[in-house]
Homo-oligomer: A and B are copies of this chain.
Amino acid sequence: MITIGQLAKYVGVSIKTIRVYHDKGLLPEPDRDVSGYRRYDAKDAIDLIKIRTLAEAGVPLARIRDLRSATGEEFQQALREIDDELTASIRGLQATQVRLRELAAGHLAPLPTEVGAHLEHLARWGFTPRWVDLQRDLWILVFATYPDRAITLFHDQAETLANPALRQLFLDYDQAHDLDADDPRIDGLARRIVKATREHYGPDELPELDAASEIPALIQGTVNASSPAWRRLDTLIRAQLEA
């Protein structure tokens, strides 16, 4: 009949852990000797080893406790479930490891240099610093979120801005920030943007809308929050494109 300390050392857990298991009903309290010390036998040791095997598999203590009163068949079934969960969490960790390595491999780099160059272009084309900052935030987010497709999206956007007529639309969008929400010029701008969008993508497919739902609504939220006029512009454009 060994003491709690010997049992703990043998199984490789702390004394505290064994007492916690008693408190939570995982391991029955053994008899005490004359001085009130707990005294354990070999059965307790193998019970404890089983409990630890399950606990190390991530099974919550309450579930291990319930398993104590399970039949053989229920127990086997539970073990299969636990095994599956274990497999899933191993897969999860492996996926995390992949992401960790992507992080290490430099996807923390703020932005490709060509994007930085493009942002400087914007200022020279007459966009406000506010707009440039917004664009920087947008591309950081897009590159963080869709590292593989971001550069394509970026080239597409850069090409659009190389066209002076289209660029003017964006300049007008930028300027609209400070208009009153009910300024009639907003309606005109919305119509022109919708028209250009339809010409660019055809009447059937509107990839920009799809892209916009993937490219974080975060940015549109930012845009809308900072100006009532922009909010109205967004509402008008969406309504006309969906019509």
Contacts and interface: CB of A to CB of B under 8 A. Distances in A.
Interface of A: 1-2, 6-7, 10, 41-43, 45-46, 49-50, 53-54, 56-58, 76, 79-80, 82-83, 86-87, 89-90, 92-94, 96-97, 99-101, 103-104, 108, 136-138, 140-141, 144-145, 216-219, 221-222, 225-226
Contact of A86 (B10, B41, B79, B96): B96
Contacts of A100: 53-54, 57, 79, 82-83, 86
Contacts of A218: 2, 6-7, 10, 42, 45
Instruction: Across the A-B interface, give the 10 residue pairs with the lowest CB-CB distance, nearest first.
Output: A42-B137, A46-B144, A79-B104, A42-B141, A56-B96, A2-B221, A57-B96, A86-B97, A42-B140, A53-B99
A236 to B, nearest CB: 22
Contacts of A101: 83
Nearest to A102: B53
A177 to B, nearest CB: 14
A49 B25 CA distance: 39
Given A42-B137, A43-B140, A79-B100, 9 more contacts: A1-B222, A6-B218, A43-B137, A45-B216, A56-B99, A57-B93, A79-B103, A86-B100, A87-B97
A36 to B, nearest CB: 16
Nearest to A139: B42
A76 B49 contact: no
B104 A76 contact: yes
A53 B99 CA distance: 7
Contacts of A108: 50
Contacts of A145: 49
Contact of A144 (B45, B57, B86, B87): B45
Contacts of A104: 76, 79-80, 83
Contacts of A89: 93
A2 B221 CA distance: 6
